[in-house]
Amino acid sequence: MLENDHIKRLLSAIALYNDQVAYKELFVLLHSRLKQFAYSILKSGEEAEELVSDVFIGIWQKKDRLTSIESPRLYFYTTVKNLACNRLNKQKRQVNGSPEEWLVQMNSIYFNPEELMITEEMMRQIKKAVNELPPRCRLIFKLIKEDGLKYREVAELLQLSVKTVEAQMAIGLRRIARCMHFEVKGSPLPQLSLKK
Amino acid sequence: MSQEKFWILLAKKLSGETSADELHELENLIHEHPEWQFAVQNIGGVLKNHPLKDEIHAEDAYMLHLHRMAEMNIPFNDEHTEEPVFVASNRKAKWYWAAAAVLIVALGFFAFNELSGNKNPNGQLAAEINEISTRQGSKSKVQLPDGTVVWLNSGSKLTYDKEYGQKLREVILIGEGYFDVVKMKDKPFIIHTSAINIKVLGTVFNVKAYPEDKRTETSLLRGSIEVTIKNRPNDKIILVPSEKLVIENSRVIEKEEPKTTIPTPSAEPSINTLVAINKLKYGSSDSSVAETQWIDNKLVFRDESFAELAVKMQRWYGVEIEIKDTKIGQKRLNGIFENETVIQALDALKEFISFRYKQTGNKIIINR
């Protein structure tokens, strides 16, 4: 989990003491998440890497302002999103950088099979189900389950309502449950309202 | 309807987003549909938060990032130190990967008592003072209550009171110490010397603050430290790795007359400098710097005058050395003493500078 308080402490060490150790720790902590998020928009590993570096250059150059960041987690993701969308616009590579067009890769869902009564086949099914979620749903799922953002933060980042985030999470969860044959019984599952 | 609600609530619960009311609602739903219980128990294990860890890749990326910053001429090491006007600018910042932290500060007077816990006679109500000192010619390693380790060089004293570690970690240093400070972000470690205060959060550094020395030296190998000078409490100097802060004590400590038994000619031209920041010089064969080698029992001198070296030798060997001839005192020397006795050391120096010495008891007199 990405703790806001932890990031805040690192940011204030950087702001107040030019703490290079804290700077490095912050970089290592956020790098792969931010890079993956940048990648989902830019669809280029090289550009994503450069973009994360740009974000951190900004952090070092704007040290004085770091302590006033309310939610650093959201700040980093928003910065990545804005820089990435600007980049796309400049390159005129895409008309819009809407989340529907982002390429979201889940690292995979992790299990501890010993805790669970699931088979290999089920695991495969679950992974498949996750990767077949519609892009926006997969993105929300990833941001919350892998990156540790809160519903409220995801809503703000993607400019959605919290209700939409809730609904998307429910859809993702239900699809996974279906793979595991955990369909809730009693009434037939309503058809999922997902566009193919 | 209840199914939709069920999945929304379950997803929120697994993401740590449920309010007390919602948890209650979810429990009620499960209670009404006991057949859902199985799904609830099992799906939780699938969806635990597992942050991805890719630190090795991230470390490589960090190196590339710093490299990129350097290529773009974005200052990383020295940006912040441009502000204090009284800082002598001799600052060619470079990032040393092998950096470790050393800080040196110089202080007031000598204490000759050894490792003595100074119990307050008035009982426990008064703040209890702990005092650790080393004699001339001996060194000591101590561990403070928070796990911070301090090596004390010869003729030095470190004190801290009972309050240590409660809100702050404050110590007073006279002489030279090498500090390996345990990182505690909410409890800064503060070292007071007669000329400066040093504030750190957690790092390794060496402080040289001998009262009879002209300068207080603070060398940093890793992390960062904040130094304030006694008579300029509002100016903060921040050191970054591989930097050494040198302060002219006479400009800071008022009416303090350093009683030098040896004429120490001014070694550097920067006579008007109150504060200077220099780069630490790393040994060519390893990553050590002269400033910290005393903890490995090495007396290292690099481009120092014989007079300056003599002061170090006095402490190191616990002897008194007097150089009668000023010209001999001005000769500059490089070298390391490791296992030599004071006599062996002097004999070795004689190979480079011609002089004669006479030892009477604890006192050595050097002549042309």
Q: Is residue B59 part of a domain?
A: no
Lowest mean pLDDT among B181-190, B227-236, B240-249, B264-273: B264-273
Q: Say what the pLDDT of residue B258 is.
A: 43
Q: Which residues of B touch A19 (CB under 8 A)?
A: 201, 223-224
CATH number at residue B167: 2.60.120.1440
Handedness of CA B66, B71, B74, B79 (dihedral sign): positive
Are the C-beta atoms of residues B168 and B187 closer than 8 Å to each other? yes
| B84 within a domain of the structure (yes/no) | yes
**Model confidence pLDDT, tens digit, residues B21-42:** 998 998 888 888 877 777 777 7
Predicted-complex ipTM score: 0.80
Q: Which of B17, B68, B240 sits opposite A150 (nearest CB)?
A: B17
User: What are residue B192's DSSP bridge partners?
Assistant: B172, B197
Domain that residue B38 falls in: 2-46
Residue among A23, A90, A121 at smallest CA distance from A63 = A23
Structure tokens at A2: 């990405």
The verdict on B229 and B255 lying in the same domain is yes
- Residue A7 CA to residue A29 CA, distance in Å, equals 9
Residue at B62 is within a domain: no
Q: B329, B310 in Cβ contact below 8 A?
A: yes
Count of structural domains, chain B: 3
Give the integer Cα–Cα distance in Å for B267 and B337: 22
Query: Is the pLDDT confidence value at A184 over 70?
Result: no
* A95 to chain B, closest Cα gap in Å: 30
**What pLDDT was estimated at residue A30?**
92
As a whole number, the mean pLDDT across chain A is: 79
User: Distance between CA atoms of B251 and A64, rounded to whole angstroms?
Assistant: 31
Mean pLDDT of all residues belonging to chain B: 73
What residue ranges of chain A are covered by domains with CATH 1.10.10.10? 104-179
Does B323 share its domain with B254? no
Among partner residues A56, A61, A174, which is closest to B65 by beta-carbon distance?
A56
Position B44, amino acid: G
Residues B106 and B227 in one domain: yes
Q: Are residues B283 and B173 in the same domain?
A: yes
Which class would CATH give A4-95?
mainly alpha
Q: Which of A184, A185, A189, A194 to mutate to test the interface with B (most CBs of B within 10 A)?
A: A184
Residue in B closest to A18 by C-alpha: B224
User: Is position B57 within any domain?
Assistant: no
Assess whether B94 and B27 both reside in one domain. no
Q: CATH 1.10.1740.10 residue ranges in chain A?
A: 4-95
CATH topology of domain A104-179: Arc Repressor Mutant, subunit A (1.10.10)
User: What CATH number is given to the structural domain containing B328?
Assistant: 3.55.50.30
- Whether A53 has its CB under 8 Å from any CB of chain B: the answer is yes
Co-location of B23 and B87 in the same domain: no
My answer on whether B99 and B35 are in the same domain is no
Residue among A18, A112, A174 whose CB faces B240 most closely = A18
Are A27 and B54 within 8 A, CB to CB? no
* Same domain? B362 vs B331: yes
Residues B248 and B315 in one domain: no
What residues form DSSP beta bridges with B248? B215
Is a pLDDT exceeding 50 seen at residue A167?
yes
**B186 and B97 in one domain?**
yes
Shared domain for B197 and B311, answered yes or no, is no
Q: Which helix (H) or strand (E) holds A120?
A: helix A120-131
Q: What is the pLDDT of residues B280-305, one digit of tens each?
A: 766 555 556 778 778 777 888 877 88
